[in-house]
Structure 1
């Protein structure tokens, strides 16, 4: 929103100033390396040039390997075999597109999706969207919290109450990493995603699935009755998550500040690569879940 100020001899457009987060000590090296790449000054190898831009999509992709994905993918594989592999692939492609647009919004406008909604929509609608978003976030957090607590319970054979307390402590520790900068949080999340991906990859190959059938059902859409349709809807709903669309735009809006449009375009190309890598990894994890369940059950 801009304000028009009239004087006796001129009109001046004044835009409200927005707070821009300063670079924390833990992020200085990453931000400087990214700026060197965007300005064409970096002489590092291609991998070293890409690394400073990887992170936001990996945080976002956690939403694509949550308890909802576990439940729907494993049930789909156990009940219908490889039939719904194509649903996972299609859902992941949709998620890639949506997350790309979310990241682009943060880079291009400097606003996240919630701020953009506040500026574009009437106030009553904004209040309604806020209330609904809070309710959805609490429902989602409940599933994530219970999933983590059950995980601790299964791994360490501790009571569920103690596992819940441990989950809360772990959550605050991970979130506390943001005080050191975004890079520490991104590194931990990327490591956790890597562990999950490696675990399912190993399980999948140990189960020796039928790769020919997997390839066939990847490109041939099929359903096996009403229940398979419901499961397909569940897979889609567990994959394309509204809250992470808001999150991704906020992760990119102030991460790397660029002074001109040309550098913003370069930044977006690197962020697109981040989305492709992270979402492909998340998609493979979902695929491995279904394949493992199909081969095992």
Structure 2
């Protein structure tokens, strides 16, 4: 009853799109939010592991991967947001409507595996951060991270705004914790510019590049973003729809732009401080923490740990939210939030309990995520190109072509990785 009452109160407080249009820039600010929730998933602990490892091991070589992945993310998230706006339904719901029964079940199964891999990275990251900051055992830190994520999701009972504000606050902590260190680092501008030229240095760099891609273009948030925009505001005219579409694009550029800045900061800081220096252990989160303290000072080290903690808390909450959208959309089933939190938390706790190296688990989880991207991208591109689904918001042919290229690049990169790893 409390959740129903809160939803009705939220509905009474909601203004119309026409009123927002008349408010000018203040009306646009009131619409911003969904992309910032999605952006948290693009700076989760898996990004910390892959980006710092890439910078420490290969310098500025893979800068281009982060830039390309962020541009891909902007395109993909704009399509997902537009799908929810145009149809009032999420991507999983539309997949269920347009795919066969067995196709829908397969899509649900692989999406759930993606959600588990996502939660693995997020919980491990939060646990490592608590260990670095307070010396807590990793298993205890994982439990605390799961509990905090559950608390964040509880804010949804008060409407979408409290949850979004909490996530934006945590995103701000991540941004300050990492970008402040970037400004204190002596960056080689020439090497940074050279890193914009695509290239690899063997199979290990390809694994990291695939991990960066999986950590940046997150499959679960492709499903989620379409749900974040559906039924958020009701459009009563074509002008309303165009206003929300334009504002949504601004939301995505700002949210994904901040996420891209954070990701780039990680790699550049690692390249400037660790590459070729002989600082030990920079392929682990613990080693990065120690290395920042050695190369800069304790402020940089604890800024990194606090950012990692905020990332673990925020992204774990967003990941569990995405899991709800996936199950409800594909299967029309909804399980209690606490049970879902426990089910997705279990694999991470097993990894922590058995003492698996947390950084290696994070990097491998991101590689797993990259293999889930095509299964989210293909139906997204297909559905947003169908006028019968999208109406006037159907993709332009150029947009569809660009999305097909993005999907092909992801599939090709993963194919090369498999060949080099198992057959090369």
Q: Which TM-score tier does this pair reach, normalised by the shorter chain? A: 0.7 to 0.9
Of 1, 15, 24, the residue aligned with 1:32 is: 15
Cα pair 2:61 2:194 within 8 Å, conserved: no
Moved more, 61-70 or 103-112: 61-70
How far, CA to CA, are the matches of 2:99 and 2:237 in structure 1? 28
* Match status 1:240 vs 2:217: yes
3-state SS of paired residue (1:178): helix
Q: Structure 1-normalised TM-score?
A: 0.85
Structure 1 stretches of 5 or more lacking a match? 1-20
Aligned-partner Cα distance in 2 for 1:103–1:162: 37
Report the CA distance between 1:191 and its aligned residue: 0.9
- Asked if the contact 1:37–1:49 (Cα under 8 Å) also holds between the matched residues in 2, the reply is yes
Separation in 2, partners of 1:28, 1:137: 34
Stretches of 4+ moved more than 6 A in 1? none
Residues 55 and 186, structure 1, Cα contact 8 Å, conserved in 2: yes
Whether the aligned pair in 1 keeps the contact of 2:47 and 2:263 (CA below 8 Å) is yes
Alignment match, 2:181: 203
1:143 positional shift: 2.0
Question: Which residue of structure 1 lines up, in the alignment, with residue 237 of structure 2?
Answer: 260
**Alignment match, 2:131:** 153
Return the offset for 1:156.
Answer: 2.1
State the Cα deviation string for residues 151-181 of structure 1 (Å, max 9, x = none).
1221222232332232122111101000111
Number of aligned residue pairs:
270
Q: Using a 3 Å threshold, how does the CA distance of structure 1 residues 195 and 35 change in structure 2: closer, same or farther?
A: farther
TM-score under structure 2 length normalisation: 0.60
Deviations 1:187-244 (A, max 9, x none): 01011111101111111111221234323423x2232233222322221122111111
Structure with larger Rg: 1
Q: Once the 2 structures are TM-superposed, how far is the Cα of residue 34 of structure 1 from its aligned partner?
A: 5.0
Q: Deviations over 1:106-144 (max 9, x none)?
A: 001111000110111111111121122222212221221
List runs of 5+ in structure 2 lacking aligned partners: 275-424
Of 54, 64, 75, which residue of structure 2 is paired with 1:76? 54
Q: Check the 8 A contact 2:6/2:159 in 1, yes or no.
A: no
Higher relative contact order by CA 8 Å / sep ≥ 6: 1 or 2? 1
Give deviations 1:83-112, integer Å, cap 9, x for gaps.
111110001000110000000000011110
User: CA 1:269–1:55 in 2, change beyond 3 Å: closer, same or farther?
Assistant: same
| Kept after mapping to 2: 8 A contact 1:73/1:290 | yes
Asked if 1:226 is matched to 2:189, the reply is no
Secondary structure in 1 aligned to 2:255? helix
Q: Aligned partners of 2:199 and 2:120: how far apart in 1?
A: 33
**1:16 aligned partner:** none
Work out whether residues 60 and 195 of structure 2, in 8 Å CA contact, stay in contact via their aligned partners in 1. yes
